Chains A and B, each alone.
Chain A
Amino acid sequence: MSLLEVSDLSVTFSTPDGLLEAVRGLSFSLEAGKTLGIVGESGSGKSVATQTIMGLTQNVRITGTALFEGVDLLTLSRSELRKVRGSQIAMIFQDPLSSLHPFYRVGWQIVEMIREHEDVSKDAARARAIDLLRSVGISQPDVRIDNYPYQFSGGMRQRAMIAMAMALNPKILIADEPTTALDVTVQAQVLEVMERMQQEFGTAIILITHDLGVVADIADDVLVMYAGRAVETADRRTTFYEQHHPYTKGLLESLPAIDTDERLKPITGSPPSLLRLPAGCSFRPRCPYVMDRCAEEPPLRPIDDAGLHRSACWLPTDVTGTGEAAERRRREASEAGSGTGVGSGIDALRRREA
């Protein structure tokens, strides 16, 4: 059994403009000690999904289940959830300055957090906090522990957050864009610390990011989200080399290539408003391979025999990757599947570019 098993999770906000379904039927599982990367652009629902699992979204309608070691997190009471949060599942956020309280010393915040969950003396908790700060690479931790957050640099704050998150040896660490606000050299330090902590404690990590480079670096499995749905899920190498969904492919192709000066290939158009989703596949208006069948929403279906690679697209399952042959077959499939009305994918592409 997986450590965390999310099935058919939907999260709906009520807004003045109508119901907004931020997450639609999301299912995924997380294995102990592994890293799952969740990739998606703004508004894809990646943060809302994980925050809902942690009980951090309010005034929402939630359906589905999130089984953590067999217990459905979505049905727990606030006090039960409090016990899970921090000790079993910890979370770090993008902006470490707003996650640390500016009035209290860094050490005090870590000690407080340990003592909230465990019955230990102040001195013992303090000694543990010093050890933790040392393990995330903060020098002179016995001095730094009495500093206020503003005395730490951005990278140090994020590492202090990781220290705090790891304090109770959680089984899952949810990291929501942990390095987005940091410079690349500091990002490298933080990712290194996260990897080291994972090796040491065997923590499973859910890494939410928009940076495909970070995912290629440390994720074991990848979940790609678009407009509230999972559109593709696979292991890391499959995602980057044998991806099936046109959105995943589009994302990878829109990055500047390492060795060529070729013109970039952006995805045309922009993500849809969640209040006015297109009928059928939500990626349809931007997809160069759109077919008649796309008017019907494709389910997340197995692409390989083992069922580990899944994609929500009607294109034939044996067409993967970015090679020329695959490209030709996609075009052919798209044209063959566009008998009536909608027009072929290439026409649609031209229309969008015009």
Chain B
Amino acid sequence: MSEPAAVQREPSGEVLLELTDVVKHFPIRSGSLLRRDAGSVKAVDGVSLTVRSGETLGLVGETGCGKSTLARCITRLYDLTAGKVVFEGQDITKLSARAMRPVRSKVQMIFQDPYGSLNPRRRVGSIIGDPFAIHRIASGDDRKRRVQELMEMVGLNPEHYNRFPAEFSGGQRQRIGVARALALRPKLIVCDEPVSALDVSIQAQVINLLADLQSELGLTYIFIAHDLSVVRHVSDRVAVMYLGKVVELSPSERLYHHPRHPYTNALLSAVPVPDPDLSDSRERLILAGDVPSPTNPPTGCRFHPRCPKARPNCVEDDPSLTARLDDEPSHQTACHYPVVDGEDLTAARPQLPSSQRAEDLVATRSTEGSETS
């Protein structure tokens, strides 16, 4: 099926960042005196992604899917358990702190909480000027001038250079975080839920700011959020994560119109839309249960206990992330039974014994009687 009218927003820039089988496990130790390994939290469990220069890659998923851990692996705030991170052709997986330093100036991060990520006892000017001091780039009046330029760039009043974070509103604080991230003219900015803590009317201001800066400075973003409508708006491509793995990766328009993975379908259907008529007319797909613990993830496809389309082989074989049905290679799905356009998932019933399905089933609106054990 070809759609000539639809402009393929295929990123054309060079590869900036390449992740290969990134794994991050956090060991759990029990006992205080004799520390024993008691398993591990498999936060990120084999993620491979490519980010091209100038694009925005969205990462979505629910609590515990590993999206923030992955962000911290990319920026090397965490050391990887296994796998490889290549930035601008250089393998940065095992670089020492000193060798990382020049890389750090090119990869920056913006955090969710504009209250927690700014030191309340320091003046805004010195917070934003920190990168200049750490990297010994500018000092004195030169530093002040550069900081004020940055403040202006993100829409803050440069005269407020000497104020404390407490004197700014949430949205303005997030701008301070953006200014600090921009100080060293990075190439890649990892935004970890940058607007989640902000009020609706302020969210849009920050999103527009990030978009302007991207086109002005040619930035590349990895944009992490749980709000799918925001991710769709900002991203060229979106990766959907579930329990430490990418389950679907696609150009963002395609993902929203032709979601293949049942989990992506469930996520999209669960997002409330601010439009009463649309909201009334659509069929809700409500998943059973909660996200399982990443300490002991389900076998095979990790989504199988909650999946409405699960079949016995889903319990055994972990599906690979690859183009399914007749999708373009840019649209990849990790599912044995991808959802066909127009398929009604609310009618689907898993063909698994109930012992392999998520407990705590919410009775759905369907007429079917419940068969809880």
A184 to B264, CA, bound (A): 12
- CB of A139 within 8 Å of the partner chain: yes
User: Looking at the complex, which of B84-92, B104-112, B267-275 is the stretch in contact with chain A?
Assistant: B267-275
- Please tell me if the beta carbons of B63 and A41 are within 8 angstroms of each other in the complex: no
User: Looking at the complex, which of B42-50, B137-145, B355-363 is the stretch in contact with chain A?
Assistant: B355-363
Q: Report B-chain residues with C-beta under 8 Å of the C-beta of A78.
A: none
Distance between B364 CB and nearest chain A CB, rounded to angstroms: 8
B290 touches which of A42, A186, A193, A261 (Cβ 8 Å): A186
A134-172 contacts to B, CB under 8 A, are 137-140, 153-156
User: Looking at the complex, which of A263-271, A298-306, A338-346 is the stretch in contact with chain B?
Assistant: A263-271
Distance between A195 CB and nearest chain B CB, rounded to angstroms: 10
Nearest-neighbor residue (CB-CB) of A144 within chain B: B360
- Please tell me if the beta carbons of B267 and A185 are within 8 angstroms of each other in the complex: yes
Distance between A28 CB and nearest chain B CB, rounded to angstroms: 20
B233 touches which of A191, A256, A265 (Cβ 8 Å): A256
- CB of A291 within 8 Å of the partner chain: no
- CB of B20 within 8 Å of the partner chain: no
In the complex where A211-B272, A240-B276 touch, is A183 in contact with B208 (Cβ < 8 A)? no
- CB of A328 within 8 Å of the partner chain: no
- Please tell me if the beta carbons of B361 and A137 are within 8 angstroms of each other in the complex: yes
Task: Give how many B residues have a beta carbon under 8 Å from the other chain's beta carbons.
Answer: 47
Q: How large is the interface on A (under 10, 10 to 19, 20 to 34, 35 or more residues)?
A: 35 or more
- Please tell me if the beta carbons of A270 and B272 are within 8 angstroms of each other in the complex: no
Distance between A217 CB and nearest chain B CB, rounded to angstroms: 5
A256 to B233, CA, bound (A): 6
B201 touches which of A137, A214, A254 (Cβ 8 Å): A254
- CB of A212 within 8 Å of the partner chain: yes
Q: Report B-chain residues with C-beta under 8 Å of the C-beta of A271.
A: 199, 201
A247-261 contacts to B, CB under 8 A, are 250-252, 254-256, 258, 261
A137 touches which of B170, B267, B363 (Cβ 8 Å): B363
Q: Report B-chain residues with C-beta under 8 Å of the C-beta of A139.
A: 359-361, 372
- Please tell me if the beta carbons of A270 and B171 are within 8 angstroms of each other in the complex: yes
B108-154 contacts to A, CB under 8 A, are none
B362 touches which of A42, A189, A267 (Cβ 8 Å): A189
- Please tell me if the beta carbons of A264 and B208 are within 8 angstroms of each other in the complex: yes
- Please tell me if the beta carbons of A183 and B361 are within 8 angstroms of each other in the complex: no
A265 to B106, CA, bound (A): 31
- CB of B207 within 8 Å of the partner chain: yes
Q: Report B-chain residues with C-beta under 8 Å of the C-beta of A307.
A: none
- Interface residues as binary, B157-196 with A (CB distance below 8 Å gives 1, 0 otherwise): 0000000000001111000000000000000000000000
Nearest-neighbor residue (CB-CB) of A252 within chain B: B274
Distance between A162 CB and nearest chain B CB, rounded to angstroms: 12
A258 to B226, CA, bound (A): 16
A185 touches which of B169, B270, B359 (Cβ 8 Å): B270
- CB of B38 within 8 Å of the partner chain: no
Q: Report B-chain residues with C-beta under 8 Å of the C-beta of A252.
A: 274
- Please tell me if the beta carbons of A264 and B286 are within 8 angstroms of each other in the complex: no
- Please tell me if the beta carbons of B276 and A216 are within 8 angstroms of each other in the complex: yes
In the complex where A137-B361, A263-B208 touch, is A210 in contact with B271 (Cβ < 8 A)? no
- CB of A237 within 8 Å of the partner chain: yes
Distance between B48 CB and nearest chain A CB, rounded to angstroms: 25
- Please tell me if the beta carbons of B273 and A140 are within 8 angstroms of each other in the complex: no
A138 to B284, CA, bound (A): 20
The 7 A-B residue pairs with the shortest CB-CB distance, nearest first, are A213-B272, A266-B204, A137-B362, A256-B233, A183-B62, A254-B204, A267-B201
| Residues of A in contact with B (beta carbons under 8 Å apart) | 41-42, 137-140, 153-156, 183-189, 191-193, 210-217, 236-237, 240-241, 250-252, 254-256, 258, 261, 263-268, 270-271
Starting from the known contacts A188-B270, A212-B274, A251-B200, 7 additional A-B residue pairs (CB-CB under 8 Å) come to A41-B201, A210-B199, A211-B272, A216-B272, A217-B272, A264-B204, A270-B201
